[in-house]
Structure 1
Amino acid sequence: MKKIIIASILMISGFLNAQNFQGMAVYESKTSTADFMKGMGGNREITPEMQKQIEERMKKMFEKTFILNFDKTASIYKEEEKLDAPGQQGGGRMMMSMMGGGGTHYKNAKDKQYIVDKEFFGKEFLIKDSLPKYDWKLEGESKQIGNYTCFKATAVVKVSESDFRNFRFRNNNNAKEGDKKAETVKDTAKAKKTNFTDDWEMPKENTITAWYCPEIPVNQGPENYWGLPGLILEVNDGKTVILCSKLVLNSKEKVEIKPASKGKEITQKEYDETVKKKMEEMREMNSGPGGQRGGFRMGGGR
């Protein structure tokens, strides 16, 4: 068995040493919708039929397929292209971007830089920034992912405030008490300012678990994950799981690995602030008199 593993590593090392080495990995990304549905639960305006429709739409939005093309130093990570379903224009595209999809994610481990193009409210942005430095803790635990032996690593990471997958439902009883008080307020305008987004919070940090494959000694992975002594085949942050379902090494079909170049150049921090500011504006509009409780719509339809 050890001879087979050693032979496999030597064969893959030969691929890596090839001048035009390139690999392709397919990842399935799934995000739990439990928190989001819990947040919707307190909205009396949502009927059971509406809730079922929302659940089905959210499931499609939170289950995505991505392709990672990589060489020895760089990679591009992009959502698999699909024909737009009805209602996925406009607001639907915006929500895709805020849920981790849309655009091309380029990482260069040698230059320690990443470049991502994003579309937000009709504006195109080109996010350029330094790759995050992960303080990986290599664990002794291992498991099989497909035909590959992977090893566990954990790290505490700073969350992106523009990625809505990171939102957590605030678990406290004060919100319910606040709703009861709001119902007794004589000024109905003040009562209407209560918004379900008040029950959400964005954590500053998150603990992630990654599984990497030393047999494929490139320090790449899905999204912004990198820096381990092997390709990352699985990432779990407790809410979103990204799992490799297919891996191809040195295919005859080569993909040009280069970053996007279109859009307003901006740092990650500046982009996060832009998104936060716009969402606060929407929150204020929907919380005021005549506003729609529930914030933004989940789809792009009218």
Structure 2
Amino acid sequence: MKKLLQNFTALVLFCFCAVSFAQKDFQGKAYYMSKTTMDLDEWGGREMTPEQKKRIEERMKSFLEKEYILTFNKEESIYKEDEKLEAPGSGRGWGGFSGGFTGGPKYKNVKSKELLQDQEFFGKQFLIKDELKSLEWKMGTETKQIGQYTCFKATAIKTVDGFDWRSMRRRRDNDDKDKKEGEKKNDSIKKDDDPMSEIEVPKTIEVVAWYTPQVPINQGPDDYWGLPGLILEINADRTTILCTKIVMNPDEKEEIEKPKKGDEVTKAEYNEIITKKMQEMREMYGGRRGNRGGRGRRN
């Protein structure tokens, strides 16, 4: 009975609010704050002093904590970072290499199921064009208030992109205790030659979304969408995306333009490009280690 009442309430809210969103030139803006947590102890932080940890955390803050703006109408949206001027020396995460994992403006069209993303990787511009994929949302019965909006809970299981840095973690080998000493040494050498061998990404994660029928738009931050209302909060693995402000029908409307620059590729093709580049870097890294070792032996 409780679930039926909540579903009915959501339907009433959706129908009531949809009337005011019917005009042709309707537009809105939602401001989001995204934060990803990272345990430095997992990446060798146990050997650092508190001062060293603090310095690294400050340098990583601009990469792990970002602000975005979602500009949307009834069918389209563009999601892009709200870039701010940074202090000298603050850094942008992991330098140029991080560009392969953090995308540029993302365009979604929920009617044509079109997804476009502007992406730069090692100085080359790409235009990722793919089908907008939907998640199999399970509607929950819980509600909570986010600002002035009543939100309803929905959950889904999401397949994780192998290059999603937000879910990367250090690989854990549960069989270490059962290995022989010689096997441990060989494994250690392999990891030294290939630093990426210590990183893994889970195949799937659970996503918890909070959406509001008071803004009856089938949109949300990043690549999330597909609920009967604007998604105001996303909790996915170690990342939380939270809406901090909504502006309906701003005085100065912004044209939602599709990204156009760059070589057009699908997401699968782009991942293949990253894979090849990483392989080149691993080979180059291994070659340098070999050269250093060779010079050491000649001496």
Is TM more than 0.5 here?
yes
Change (3 A) 1:168 1:90: closer
Offset at residue 57 of structure 1 (A): 1.4
- Given the alignment, which residue of 37, 43, 64 partners 1:39? 43
Question: Is 1:92 aligned to residue 95 of structure 2?
Answer: yes
C-alpha contact 1:141 1:152 (8 A) present in aligned 2: yes
In structure 2, how many angstroms separate the alpha carbons of the residues matched to 1:129 and 1:192? 35
Offset at residue 50 of structure 1 (A): 4.3
In structure 1, how many angstroms separate the alpha carbons of the residues matched to 2:88 and 2:177? 36
Residue 19 of structure 1: SS of its match in structure 2?
coil
Change (3 A) 1:192 1:128: closer
- Tell me which residue corresponds to 1:19: 24
Change (3 A) 1:137 1:183: closer
Q: Which runs of 5 or more residues in structure 2 are unaligned?
A: 1-9, 291-299
TM-score, scaled relative to structure 2: 0.82
In structure 1, how many angstroms separate the alpha carbons of the residues matched to 2:133 and 2:185? 48
- Tell me which residue corresponds to 1:254: 253
Offset at residue 9 of structure 1 (A): 6.2
Offset at residue 12 of structure 1 (A): 3.9
Give CA deviations for 1:199-252 in whole Å, capped at 9, x if unaligned.
221222211111111111111000100110000000111210000011111111
Change (3 A) 1:206 1:183: closer
Structure with greater contact order relative to length (CA < 8 Å, sep ≥ 6): 1
In structure 2, how many angstroms separate the alpha carbons of the residues matched to 1:150 and 1:287? 51
- Tell me which residue corresponds to 1:299: none
Give CA deviations for 1:50-70 in whole Å, capped at 9, x if unaligned.
443222212221000000000
Q: Which runs of 5 or more residues in structure 1 are unaligned?
A: 292-302
- Tell me which residue corresponds to 1:198: 197
- Tell me which residue corresponds to 2:222: 223
Query: Between Structure 1 and Structure 2, whose CA radius of gyration is higher?
Result: 2
Query: In the alignment, residue 133 of structure 2 is paired with which amino acid?
Result: P
In structure 1, how many angstroms separate the alpha carbons of the residues matched to 2:119 and 2:98? 11
In structure 1, how many angstroms separate the alpha carbons of the residues matched to 2:276 and 2:244? 37
Residue 260 of structure 1: SS of its match in structure 2?
coil
Residue 289 of structure 2: SS of its match in structure 1?
coil
C-alpha contact 2:176 2:184 (8 A) present in aligned 1: no
C-alpha contact 1:105 1:116 (8 A) present in aligned 2: yes
TM-score, scaled relative to structure 1: 0.81
Offset at residue 272 of structure 1 (A): 1.4
Give CA deviations for 1:24-66 in whole Å, capped at 9, x if unaligned.
00000000111x5412347x7x676544322221222100000
- Given the alignment, which residue of 47, 72, 75 partners 1:73? 75
In structure 2, how many angstroms separate the alpha carbons of the residues matched to 1:263 and 1:74? 21
In structure 2, how many angstroms separate the alpha carbons of the residues matched to 1:49 and 1:286? 30
Change (3 A) 1:85 1:265: farther
In structure 1, how many angstroms separate the alpha carbons of the residues matched to 2:24 and 2:191? 64
Residue 193 of structure 1: SS of its match in structure 2?
helix
Change (3 A) 1:191 1:14: closer
Alignment RMSD (CA, Å): 3.1
In structure 2, how many angstroms separate the alpha carbons of the residues matched to 1:93 and 1:124? 13
C-alpha contact 2:62 2:93 (8 A) present in aligned 1: no
Identical pairs, percent: 47
Query: In the alignment, residue 70 of structure 1 is paired with which amino acid?
Result: F
In structure 2, how many angstroms separate the alpha carbons of the residues matched to 1:48 and 1:13? 52
- Tell me which residue corresponds to 1:138: 139
Say how many residue pairs are matched.
279
